[in-house]
Amino acid sequence: MSHMDHMLISPDDEAGVVALAACTSHIFPMALKAAIQLDLFEIVGGAHGDGLSSLEIASQLPTNVDRTAVVLDSLLRLLITRSLLTCSILKLANGSIERRYRLAPAGRFFVGDENGSSLVPYFAHVSRDELVQQISFKDAVLKGGKVFEEVEGNSFYGSMLSDPEFGMIFDNAMGAHSTMIMKKVIKIYDGFEGLSSLVDVGGGNGTVLDGIVSNYPSIRAINFDLPHVVQNAPSYKGIEHIGGDMFLEVPKGDAILLKFVLHNWGDEQCTKLLKNCYKALPNRGKVIVMECIMPNSPQTDVHAKYASEMDMAMVGLLEGKERTEDEFEAMAIDAGFSEFKVVCCVYGVWIMEFYKLV
């Protein structure tokens, strides 16, 4: 045990370090980007036994510079502070220590699964240099948000049409995120049982629906999105692609899925969409909403931090926002729904149900 372990840290010292860490918070995304580019998660994830030392990891990198292992050790230690890696300490015969690194549970999401899917494409989107360097949250505050449109001269979604590379990066990111979320949703959420039809509004290329229908093959599914989105969507068994405008009309179904749709839009537009969903549902039909839920009183836990960062992105770049449970319930009632339920949570994404009871 070191001398540091016996020392008491005063509240003032703790506050000072929190402030200093806030000043250097931009360093971690840079380190995570480097870790992904160097395939560190894949290398460490493939280790057996007590893990790998920085020297052993460095031997698998395309370099033979002497100080690589030293710099790499600092990078790996930083990843541990965000719970992406763990390490054990091995005391060597000469009295020095060696850190041996292993993948932490959170780090496994940056390693390709059996289908090659991971969060790497998601990080590639949210960390794009163009997005990070050109967007000013100061301007977002002073101008009421939507700074992406002012900087790019086009809306966020319009830019995907004019910039195919941006559109591809975004689609890959949403696909990676959806794969992560839906694999667990299928396991713990039973709200798809008994449905004869399901409409995914804003369903993109149909990946989410395909995962659902694969597990519930009796469901007749409709993937609904803008015409230019669905025209290139792959063909899936049991899924019909329909193009249209959700603010004008929504296809009919026993249930309607809205995954990360409402947070893109303001309250008025969300209510308009939900009213269209209400019209498309039969009695006792439901809208299944998947979104972050903001706490009424700001918190500091990891769920609240993630929701708040998503909220800042939505309110600053687009015209939407993340919402509290009370705000979701009020919006559901305003659109005509009689019953509101919060069912479960998957990786910070809450599943809610809005019921139509006539």
| pLDDT tens readout for residues 26-54 | 999 999 999 999 999 999 999 888 899 99
Question: How far apart are the two ends of the chain, measured CA to CA in Å?
Answer: 67
User: Quick one: pLDDT band at residue 5, thresholds 50, 70, 90?
Assistant: low
Q: Which domain holds residue 84?
A: 3-109
Give the integer Cα–Cα distance in Å for 100 and 106: 18
Catalytic residue among 26, 177, 241, 263: 263
The string of pLDDT tens digits covering residues 227-237 is 988 998 999 99
Q: Within the chain, what is the greatest distance between any pair of CA atoms?
A: 78
Both 80 and 140 in one domain: the answer is no
Q: Which of 109, 128, 152 is the last residue of a domain?
A: 109
pLDDT (tens digit, 9 = 90+) per residue, 164-217? 888 889 889 999 999 999 999 999 999 999 999 999 999 998 999 999 999 999
| CATH number of the domain bearing residue 87 | 1.10.10.10
Last residue of a domain, one of 80, 109, 138: 109
Sheet containing strand 85-91, strands side by side: 52-53, 97-103, 85-91
What's the pTM? 0.91
Q: What is the mean pLDDT of the chain?
A: 93
Domain finish residue from 50, 85, 109: 109
Instruction: Please check whether residues 136 and 204 belong to one and the same domain.
Output: yes
- Beta-strand ranges (E) seen in 285-348 are 286-291, 293-294, 323-324, 339-346
Q: Are strands 323-324 and 339-346 parallel, antiparallel or unpaired?
A: unpaired
Give the whole-angstrom CA distance, residue 49 versus residue 52. Answer: 9
Cα→Cα distances 275→47, 177, 180, 232, 257, Å = 53, 28, 30, 28, 14
CATH number of the domain to which 150 belongs: 3.40.50.150
The tokens of 307 are what? 């929701």
Concerning whether 228 is annotated as a catalytic residue, the answer is: no
Share of the chain above pLDDT 70, in %: 98
pLDDT (mean) for 240-255: 98
My answer on whether 146 and 260 are in the same domain is yes
Hey, which of 20-34, 127-141, 308-322 has the most confident mean pLDDT?
Answer: 20-34
| 157 contacts 167 by C-beta, under 8 angstroms | no
Tokens representing residue 4 in the block = 């540091």
User: Are 182 and 308 within one domain?
Assistant: yes
- Strands (E) across 78-174 are located at 85-91, 97-103
Does 114 reside within a domain?
no
What residues contact residue 292 under an 8 Å CB cut-off, 6+ apart? Answer: 263, 306, 307, 310, 311, 322, 348, 349, 350
Whether the pLDDT of residue 346 is over 90: the answer is yes
In-domain check, residue 80: yes
The total domain count for the chain is: 2
The answer to whether 353 and 341 are in contact (CB under 8 A) is yes
Residue 67 covered by a domain:
yes
Judge whether residue 151 has pLDDT over 90: no
Based on DSSP, count helices (H) and strands (E) in the chain, helices before strands.
Answer: 16, 12
Same domain, 31 and 88: yes
| β-sheet bridge partners, residue 220 | 197
CB 325, CB 314: distance < 8 Å: no
Residue 149 pLDDT class (50, 70, 90 cuts) = confident
pLDDT score, position 92: 86
Token digits of residue 341: 């339920």
Q: Is residue 120's pLDDT more than 80? A: yes
Interval 248-273: pLDDT, tens: 999 999 999 999 999 999 999 999 99
* pLDDT over 60 (residue 1): no
Q: Are residues 96 and 182 in the same domain?
A: no
